[in-house]
Structure 1
Amino acid sequence: MSLKAVRVIEIPDATGSAFDHGVFDAKSRRVFIAHTARSTIEVIDHDAGRHIATLPGFPGAAGAVSDDGEILVTNRGSASLAWLDASTLQTKAVLKTGPRPNGAAIVKSLSLGIAACIGDERHPPTLQAFHLNDGSGKTMNLPGRPRWCVTDAAAERLFLCIREPSLILVTSLPDLSPIAQWRLPSGGAHGLDIDHAAGRLYAACDDGALVEVDSRSGEVTNVWPIAGPPDVTFFNPATGLVHVAIGEPGLVETVDPRTGQGMQTTTGAGAHTTVLVPPDQLYVISPAHSGILVLSDT
């Protein structure tokens, strides 16, 4: 297995800046990146390999998720969730959330948007599910600070990393009924992704471990050491590899769950967020590269 640098895509005003979660939308063939420091969304045309738009008006943008041409952005600075059209780049709606929304998910078939909110001194951390068409929804309190979340293939369950106590919270969809809390053997559950075919979750933890969990039972099936506190985590179904971005010292830790083999690819200081573009590319958002370091995942 190997990750090889293939090109750099420049983003305006990116040098030394701060970014967070991004996503590839397969329908539009575009990549949407939360540019947290500038309160914008950066849009990349993947096939052309170039930056095509900077969308303003996303205060403290913390993350972006997609489903078949629909984009959700969590705006940590304005306690809101923005719903975008990936083709027109127009904002369809903005929904109020709890303070400091962080992790997010979207299910187009259910017209459902999800925001996991950190809260503040007056408001506890919460998980919220919205019907995007009318803004109605449900809220549940969380046992700790939320990180990232994913859904299962059938969009019947949501899995959410909680920092402390370090666990994966499981709820039903769309009603957010609690199902389980699966404690992890490493502190600070953070980045999360899922292998739908094998029924495995991959949770990267701040204490320096990548934890594999059975998505049906919650059983911990493997633990691998990683080089430092992680952030964005992606499972690539095309290669079977898990990629974990680590901002300091600036690398991507890659693990093959089938063999336990690991590899480190140097990126750049502060490059803590990535975007998987199936089947074979990983975008590393790197302020040191003034934008995106594109790696081939082969």
Structure 2
Amino acid sequence: MPLKTIGTIAIPDAVGGEFDHAAFDATSRRVFIAHTARDCVEVIDHDAGKHLATLPGFPGVAGAIADDGQILVTNRGSASVALLDANTLETRTKYKTGGRPNGAVIVAQSGLGIAACIGDEGETPTLQLFELNGPKHVSIDLPGRPRWCVTDAAAERVFLCIREPSMVLVARLPDLGAVTHWKVPSIGAHGLDIDHSRGLLYVACDDSTLVEMSSISGDVTNVWPIGGPPDVTFFNPATGLVHVAIGEPGLVDSIDPRNGNSTRTVTGAGAHTTALVAPDQLYVISAAHGGVLVLSDT
């Protein structure tokens, strides 16, 4: 059965807007949403089920990532990332990056921020690492356009989707060393998440497939069809389901990798980004719904 719709949460100026990656911070119980078209970050109070604040000043914001009360925001329009306090909503600091930072990771336990930068004309794509409370800044060149990235449970490795050649790039933390390339057997590696308990990566690809890979060896263990070119991908450890947002025609495909069963939930045209609010809700950021479509994942 499709995911059950619980309700909606209105976001100011959502109609006609364009959104990108969002994240739930379990410490503050807030959801942070990149509102790309308005150069701002929208904040939702999850427990109250309402819009809390609009934070301006994030040019071309591409994504928000949360960990332990800290939010890392990538700004494609200013070649920078910003570190926010999830409780006070204040910007603590900003870091310069390569051109058009896109996918990102924040690791509070290690004090690290990571940004995958697409680059500008004549600039090589890079993966950049920042020490959040120190001067360390490491950068490595990438073999193609980066998409999304995640780390393993121990924050010892980072995994990054590369569009072409389609692969998952793996680098050691905290120095981005020991780089390896794992070929993905589908075109356009894009959305990415990880099942830490089973050691599996889920790579949603532009040719309308979801690929399961070992996060230890890179071996491909399964490939499933999905309903269109994907974007944001989340694995929910509470239900064991992988949710893939598909902007056109506006779907969330939910795959159970334990048996291959899948369900499809109709959302809204252009709704290509989501936020997993663990353990039991999926926020679909949808301009057609005026903000957030809240789905039950139980």
The alignment partner of 1:18 has SS state of coil
Alpha-carbon distance in 2 for matches of 1:258, 1:29:
30
What's the TM-score, normalizing by structure 2?
0.99
Q: Tell me if 1:171 matches 2:171.
A: yes
Q: Tell me if 1:153 matches 2:153.
A: yes
Give the letter for the 2:239 counterpart. Answer: T
Say if 2:209 and 2:223, in contact at 8 Å, map to a contact too: yes
- Deviations along 1:216-274, one digit per CA (max 9) or x if unpaired, are 01000000001111000000000000000000000001100001001110000000000
Name the count of aligned residue pairs.
298
- Deviations along 1:106-161, one digit per CA (max 9) or x if unpaired, are 11121100000000222100000001113431000000000000000000000000
1:107-122 matches, within 5 Å, as: 107-122=107-122
Say if 1:95 and 1:135, in contact at 8 Å, map to a contact too: no
Alpha-carbon distance in 2 for matches of 1:165, 1:178:
19
Give the letter for the 2:182 counterpart. Answer: W
Give the letter for the 2:87 counterpart. Answer: S
- Deviations along 1:152-194, one digit per CA (max 9) or x if unpaired, are 0000000000000000000000100133211011000000000
Instruction: Report what 1:91 is aligned to.
Output: 91
Instruction: Report what 2:68 is aligned to.
Output: 68
Give the letter for the 1:34 counterpart. Answer: A
1:143-292 matches, within 5 Å, as: 143-292=143-292
Alpha-carbon distance in 1 for matches of 2:2, 2:296:
8
The alignment partner of 2:66 has SS state of strand
**Percent identical across equivalent pairs?**
71
1:1-150 matches, within 5 Å, as: 2-150=2-150
Gaps of 5+ in 1: none
The alpha-carbon deviation at position 37 of structure 1 amounts to 0.4
Alpha-carbon distance in 1 for matches of 2:135, 2:232:
28
- TM superposition outliers: structure 1 runs of 4+ over 4 Å: none
Gaps of 5+ in 2: none
Give the letter for the 1:273 counterpart. Answer: T
The alignment partner of 1:64 has SS state of strand
